[in-house]
Structures are given as C-alpha cells and as structure tokens.
Structure 1
Amino acid sequence: MAELMNPDTWYIADAMPPELKTKAHVVLITSPKRSTYKELEKRGARMLHMPPWSLEELQDCRSKLGLPVSEAFVKKCFEYGGGVARPSLLQSGGAAAAFDEDVDRLLGQLGRAVDTTSVSQVRAALADVAAQDRGPEASHRVIHIMTDGSYSVRQLVFASRWVAERFMAKAAVEDEQGLVSLVNGSTGTFRGLMHEAWMHRTLPKGGEFTIAPVKLTGGTMKLVREADCTLKLPPCKEAVFEEVVELAGGRCEEGVYYKPASARFPLVDSLLHVGGVVNLFQMTVDLNKPVDFAALEGLLGDLGLTSQQEARLIFVVPEDIYPNFELTMKTDGSRQKQASPTAPALGSAPAAVPELGPAPALVTRPKLCIMRAPRAQVGVRALSA
C-alpha cells in the first residue's frame, strides 16, 4: 500500500504483528503477548502500558453510550474483576434474576482463572514481564498491569481484593510455603494487596499483637507515639457488609470480624467489636499515613457510636515498617508530620509547631494505635506479634 510508505501516515495494528516495511508511524495495540510485539520492540519502539479502567471511567462510558447495563452491575463487576471493560459493560438484562446470573457467571470465570494460576506463575510474572506473557490466558484475569502517569512504568497487581483473597486461600492449601515466600518478598503496590489479604486471614484467628498507642496532646494537635504494649484479640467469626448502616444501632456484634464488600470503602479495611471496644483496622505498607479526624467522626456517627463508647483506629503495618511508621495530622487540607518514633538529635532546636487551637473532641474519637504485623509464617494459626 502506498499509504504505508508515506511518513505522514499513522499505521495502527490491532492485536497482530504490524508490517515493518513502512515509513509510517506504527502504533501497535495488543495484549501483553510478546510474540505479537517482539519484532517492533527490537526496533526500539517505545512501549506504553494501558492500565485497567477506573470505576468512574466505566460508569462514564456506560452512561454516555447509553448501554443497557445497570450502574450496580458495573460496580459489582469492578469490585470482583477489576477495571476490565468487556465483562463490566455486558449485562443480559435488567431483571434481578439476570443480574444475579451475570454476577455468578463472572465469579465462576474468575474462580476458574484463580484455580489455574499458581504461586510460581505469579512470582515469575512479578520478576519478568516475559514470564507473564508466557503464562496461561487465565492469569490475565488474575494479574493486571498498573502504571504511572508516564504509562511507561509497569507494575503488576491482583485484579481485585476478591481475587487476591481467593488466590491466597487456594495457595494456603496447595503451596503454603510458596505463599508465605510471596507475601514476605513482595514489594510496591503488589505488597499492599498481599499485606491486606494476609491480615484479613490473620486477624480473625486472634492472638497477641504488639501495638503502639498514639495520643493527641494539649491544645496543639500534636500526636505522640507511646511505648509498645500488647493487644489480645480472640478468634472470631467473619462477615461481609455492603453499607455501614448495616452495622449501626448495635448491629455490630461482639466477636465478629466485619469486612466491607468493596475495597473502595473509605477510611477502614475492617472492623472488630470486642471487649466493648470497636476496633477499626486500616492496613498499609506506606511509611506514613494521614489521619482525617473529621471523616472518622462521621464514620463513628454512621455506626451509631455514642461519645461514651470506645473506638480505636489501628494502622496495621509490616514489622519492617513498624519502627519508623509515622502518622500525620490532616487539618484544613494540610498535613503536619507527627508521631515520629525518632527523637530529635541532641542540641538541635525543636521545630516550631503552629497553633491550631484546642480540639478536645479529637483526643478520644477514636483512639489511635499502630500495630506490628509479623512476617508470614507456615502453619501459624493464632499469632503472637
């Protein structure tokens, strides 16, 4: 074709190796299958990664194209399978029975994909992009490619929290040693998902955990990390909730580990009411986290907790991060470093702390703690950390 010899032409190839005897600008759009793009890569082509769709993008597409798909169905598909357009934007019909059937069909497909993906395949994919390319097609339902603003940095993550937890439950039976190695050796965004999924398995088993209370002092809103102590949690049942209103008005039962159905639930990753205290857990692998007391007060109000009822917000961090983990105060859109475990050097002048005014309601609503999550181990049923 004469057009391919025109340097002003843009030649777009879809999921197939392009013709390379051309002067046109070549754009290849393909799944991560190296056999499709390897020749173009050899010629120095710039590789960009398209991340999964966000929930907002899926809903926007559904709305603007007038697709016969409910908003609830798109949300449910996103929660289970991540931001993949095809299953999220195809629904059999509007009836409740069809909705349930379509969700069950999606869960069946995802479940089969997880069941055919091994720990060794996941580890290989994390280590080398070519290894993921060589993996079974099912693995692409389990592992998604994320990227940064440049679209050139490739990071792998589980498709969703549901997929991560299903994979972890399967691997714990089939290859527990491999799973433990994967949890302890993961990094970056993938580590965050593994850490959260592992703690969702660990905390309901109960045990003794090391925590450091963090208190709000005086009228300056200064957070101070205190000495380590031990928190004992009993083994408990597990339950899933859709909306926080389901737990309000005394419906948050003692001894039940509650987990939101959606990983996008704000502020906390799980709740446990034990010993008269409502424990709110937030799992993180970050080196610091902001505390939004105003939003937390709203959550406690939605739970129907009175000012006399004790609540704790517990940041659960890996043991290598725990010694230096810091909380920051979020006030009026700004963050001020607080709760540092490291004292200032001798002879150094203390940093000036801006006067933010008294906030007595923040002292106990809720109490703050940092929990040390122990390294994953084989065969551990109840933990001491």
Structure 2
Amino acid sequence: MCRWIIDTGTALERGANTVLLSSPNRELYKEFLKLQGSNVLYMPIWTDDEIEKCRSQVFPTIDLGLVRALRSRWGNIPRYVLEKAANVSAQHSLDDAISACNWEDMVTCIADPGVAKDVSHKLVHIKVKDDQYDQMITKVASSYVVQKMEAKAGYELVQELQNLIHQSTWAPKIFSAAAGDFFESYTHHCLQHGGFFKVRHLCSSLIEETQQETELMLHLSPEIHEFRKVEDLQQQGIRAYYVSCIDTFPSMDAKLQQPDLLILITIVQMSVVDLIRITAAARRQLSGPKQRLYFSVPSCMFESFKFVDISRDIEQWVLEVPWM
C-alpha cells in the first residue's frame, strides 16, 4: 500500500494511506475528516533523547547548555530549541506570545486548541496520553511560561487559579494537567516562604482513628535545588528546598524539602502512588523513625482528601495550601 503525506494541503481521496500534517487548527483538516476511514492522531512532543540525537547529528555546533536553557523556556520543541536557536526574532516570539495572550486566551487553548489563537500554541502544548496516539491532554509549555503568566495575572492570579481548579473538577480530562502546572508553581511560593500550614493525618479505612487537624511549621527556604532522580539529592541543610523536574503524570509531581519532609502536590484525589519511586525517595531522604508523606492540596480538597494506596511504613498527611 502506498503512503501519501500532505503538509497542510488539500487532501483528496486516493488509493493510498494518506497522512495530513496539520496544526491543531480544525479549519485546516475538517474536510479531510469527512473522508472514509479518516481519524485524528496526535504527534507526541519530542523526548530529551530525541532532542539530543538531533542536536548531535544535525546541529552539532549548538552548545548543549544553550539547548537546555531553551528547552526550559520552550519545552521540547525542536524548531525553537534547535533550528532557530540563534534566531533572535524567533526567540523573542515566545515573550511576544505571552504579551499577546491573556488568561482567557490560555484557558481557551487548554479547553480546545483547535479554536485558540495561533500564538497560544506556543504557551500550551499537546501531550499524547498513550501509545495509541488518539488521546491527548494540554499542558503549559514550561515553568517559564507558568511564571510569566502568573506575573502577568498579578493580584488576580489567585482568583484565576481558583477558577481553573474549579473547571478541572468537572472536566478533569481537559483542565487538570494545566491547572496542576499552575497550582504546583503557586504551592512552591507558599511552602518556600514558610509559616504554619493546616495538616490532617490520613488513616486507612481499616484503622479507626480520629483525623484531627493540627499545624505544621515550615522554615523559610531561600535555596532551591532541582533534581531529576533520587540519586541527585544531597544534604544541603534544613532550609534547602528540592524541586523535581521530572514530569510524572498530570497534576502531580514530587517535591522534597530537607531534612524530613516529602511533599506531593496534587489537585486530584489519588488512588495509588508510584510505590517504588516514592519509597526510594523517602528511605533516602527522610530521617527519624516515622517517615511522613504530605499531600499538598487546594483548600477545597483539604477536608475530603482520603488515604492513598501506598506503602504502610510511610505515614500519610494532607496539607492545605491556603489562598494568599
């Protein structure tokens, strides 16, 4: 069987397997979908390894450090982290897109990338959910974009974030990933500044115990250290704040604060947690006879958050992230 690949052109019915390459703009492929047997599939974002292989073989003169810096801004988009790495105008276009987009534009792009402004697609990326390539979620492109949009929202950030989290409760498949990105960044600000936080001990249904609220005091943590794997962690003192830069799954990522706190940030009720990864981190980093895992959640989830299926030798707590 022959294959016919079209790059955003007009697709006609042919005796071949036809692939139409298109941006998420539905106007570009709606006629194609009318053809018999047509279907929408999503191309995944490049992996770190794919970016590096392309750099080493096609763009060997580009410094690896520059590529990493550009990836932290753009995400793994080869056009901007490789092909246009030295193009000043192209690199400025990300900040131009952030300036041109307001919060409503971003939410529209999260909800339906096919009808969003073209510039919004630089801020929100499609991520494939499984190896069938027919399901996707939308995530914010990078922590850089999150921080810039937070700064742009200013005093209205809390209200906008509350609205986004509310939307994720009734449409989790659409909004939860991006809402988790913004809530994660917001939570870092809260925890890093320290203070007293409301916490509640979580018990399994097999244990009859009153789950009373109490307070947890966190120190101000001026130092931030990123890590990709547990082995990268080092003892930096009680006020070092560790941030995982590994993308685990929507709405959740592991955070560590020295010397005895393991924190997971989430906006959804978890049923199970990556047992191997979490226990490895806990056993390496947590001190004392009791290892405690804190689920950091929005205020609206604090009272209802339940015990999660995880190793019984880790004590579970839920921590309320207050709206400032």
TM range (shorter): 0.7 to 0.9
- State the Cα distance separating 1:84 from its structure 2 match: 1.0
Matched, 1:370 2:318: yes
- Judged with a 3 Å threshold, the aligned counterparts in structure 2 of structure 1 residues 11 and 106 are, in CA distance, closer, same or farther, namely closer
Question: What does residue 87 of structure 1 align with?
Answer: 80
Matched, 1:28 2:28: no
Q: Counterparts of 1:247 and 1:9 in 2: how far apart (Å)?
A: 52
Q: Counterparts of 2:23 and 2:319 in 1: how far apart (Å)?
A: 40
1:66-85 alignment runs, 5 A limit = 67-85=60-78
- State the Cα distance separating 1:271 from its structure 2 match: 4.1
Q: In the alignment, residue 165 of structure 2 is paired with which amino acid?
A: V
Q: Where do 5+ consecutive residues of structure 1 fail to align?
A: 1-7, 93-101, 217-221, 331-337, 339-361, 375-379
Q: Which of 315-324 and 149-158 deviates more?
A: 315-324
Matched, 1:230 2:214: yes
Question: What does residue 280 of structure 2 align with?
Answer: 295
Question: What does residue 188 of structure 2 align with?
Answer: 200
1:129-168 alignment runs, 5 A limit = 129-132=113-116, 135=117, 137-149=118-130, 150-168=132-150
Question: What does residue 260 of structure 1 align with?
Answer: 243
Q: Alpha-carbon deviations, 1:207-266, whole Å to 9, x = none?
A: 5433233589xxxxx9998623222446835443245899845x3354x6x25373459x
Q: In the alignment, residue 263 of structure 2 is paired with which amino acid?
A: F
- Judged with a 3 Å threshold, the aligned counterparts in structure 2 of structure 1 residues 165 and 107 are, in CA distance, closer, same or farther, namely farther
Q: Counterparts of 2:226 and 2:88 in 1: how far apart (Å)?
A: 17
Secondary structure in 2 aligned to 1:78? helix
Q: In the alignment, residue 295 of structure 1 is paired with which amino acid?
A: A
Taking structure 1 as the reference length, what is the TM-score of the superposition?
Answer: 0.64
8 Å contact kept, 1:145–1:156: yes
- Judged with a 3 Å threshold, the aligned counterparts in structure 2 of structure 1 residues 308 and 25 are, in CA distance, closer, same or farther, namely closer
8 Å contact kept, 2:201–2:318: yes
- State the Cα distance separating 1:140 from its structure 2 match: 1.4
Aligned length: 307
- State the Cα distance separating 1:298 from its structure 2 match: 5.4
- Judged with a 3 Å threshold, the aligned counterparts in structure 2 of structure 1 residues 104 and 28 are, in CA distance, closer, same or farther, namely closer
- State the Cα distance separating 1:166 from its structure 2 match: 2.7
Q: Counterparts of 2:59 and 2:97 in 1: how far apart (Å)?
A: 30
* Equivalent residue in structure 1 for 2:297, among 278, 295, 317: 317
Matched, 1:38 2:30: yes
Q: Alpha-carbon deviations, 1:33-72, whole Å to 9, x = none?
A: 3332232134463111112112233234445657344554
1:45-60 alignment runs, 5 A limit = 45-60=38-53
Secondary structure in 1 aligned to 2:95? helix
Taking structure 2 as the reference length, what is the TM-score of the superposition?
Answer: 0.74
- Judged with a 3 Å threshold, the aligned counterparts in structure 2 of structure 1 residues 269 and 104 are, in CA distance, closer, same or farther, namely farther
- Judged with a 3 Å threshold, the aligned counterparts in structure 2 of structure 1 residues 172 and 185 are, in CA distance, closer, same or farther, namely farther
- Judged with a 3 Å threshold, the aligned counterparts in structure 2 of structure 1 residues 316 and 29 are, in CA distance, closer, same or farther, namely same
Q: Counterparts of 2:289 and 2:102 in 1: how far apart (Å)?
A: 45
Q: In the alignment, residue 79 of structure 2 is paired with which amino acid?
A: R
Question: What does residue 3 of structure 1 align with?
Answer: none
Q: CA RMSD in A?
A: 4.1
- Return the structure number with greater helix share: 2
Q: Alpha-carbon deviations, 1:259-302, whole Å to 9, x = none?
A: 5373459x9744445xxx643321123523244465125541xx
Q: In the alignment, residue 20 of structure 1 is paired with which amino acid?
A: L
- State the Cα distance separating 1:75 from its structure 2 match: 3.9
Q: In the alignment, residue 51 of structure 1 is paired with which amino acid?
A: P
- State the Cα distance separating 1:158 from its structure 2 match: 0.6
8 Å contact kept, 2:4–2:19: yes
8 Å contact kept, 1:55–1:75: no
The structure, 1 or 2, with the larger RCO (C-alpha pairs under 8 Å, 6+ apart) is 1
- State the Cα distance separating 1:193 from its structure 2 match: 1.9
Q: Alpha-carbon deviations, 1:129-153, whole Å to 9, x = none?
A: 4322xx0x33111100112222222
Q: In the alignment, residue 106 of structure 2 is paired with which amino acid?
A: V
